[in-house]
Amino acid sequence: MPATHPYLDWPGPIAFAHRGGASDAPENTMSAFANAVELGYRYVETDVHASLDGVLFAFHDDDLRRTCGVDGKINDLTAEEVAAVRIMGDEHIPTLGELVTTWPHLRINIDCKADPAVAPLIEAIHTYDLFDRVCIGSFSDRRLRAIREACGPRLCTSMGPKEVAMLRLRSWTRSTGKELAPLAAQVPPRQGPLPIVDSRFISHAHDLGLHVHVWTIDDRSEIDELLDLGVDGIMTDSLPTLVNALRDRDQWI
């Protein structure tokens, strides 16, 4: 697919380090992101939650128990309180500001995980001038709509759940419907028993000018299958596996 936005301007399939590369370091930590950058990744994926006082943190879960062993949610704690929490007893939870300023050329896919993160994320996009560096996604159509309305067409966004469902349906009927706002369909290979990514889906997305990024793929044979189908990007936890797959095709940049 030709680039339709500066964020998507990359000469080949995009390799995304999912949560920084969750198989190689604690997810969404500075060490994970640093490892990805050292391996040559120029795109990472992360998630954001906002603290009680509106500071954005790169963190996936609704609560802190799984990775930090702490009862509570980022949304209910001040930024100072969140900063004192340690992931796996060792690493701090990075802020989005820390991530975007530490690697100023890194491109970041951001999943807006909760309503309190919407306004701080909109502010961060403007404050740090992230329009060319980020793609925003969410499992909430409502949150995506609010971010798109606030940031306008300069921002790259991926499809929400309803948009993905409509694209899958249209790929079977070959209908176009109304003009689509997002620039990327970021999807799993399947949703339960329903296949999402196949040649028909990819072809129809490309006809509409949409890039197709698939998550989260760690198996080499599945990576190869998706690249053969013509996907535009793959998100992985297993960073060396994706590097090797693209290198074997002379597509690792």
Question: Which member of 5, 60, 92, 206 is catalytic?
Answer: 60
CA separation for the pair 106, 30 (Å, rounded): 13
- Other residues' Cβ atoms within 10 Å of the Cβ of residue 184: 25
- 211 is a catalytic site residue: no
User: Quick one: which H or E segment has residue 151?
Assistant: helix 141-151
Question: Which member of 18, 49, 204, 213 is catalytic?
Answer: 18
Residue of 116, 105, 113, 90 lying closest to 30 (CA atoms)? 90
User: In the structure encoding, which two tokens stand for residue 96, read together?
Assistant: 């989005």
User: In the structure encoding, which two tokens stand for residue 93, read together?
Assistant: 């939870």
Which residues, 6 or more positions from 149, have their beta carbon under 8 angstroms from its beta carbon? none
Whole-number Cα distances in Å, 51 to 57, 102, 183: 7, 21, 29
CA separation for the pair 84, 13 (Å, rounded): 38
> Sign of the C-alpha dihedral, residues 18, 22, 28, 30?
negative
CA separation for the pair 33, 99 (Å, rounded): 8
CA separation for the pair 163, 27 (Å, rounded): 28
- 126 is a catalytic site residue: no
Query: Which amino acids are annotated catalytic?
Result: 18, 60
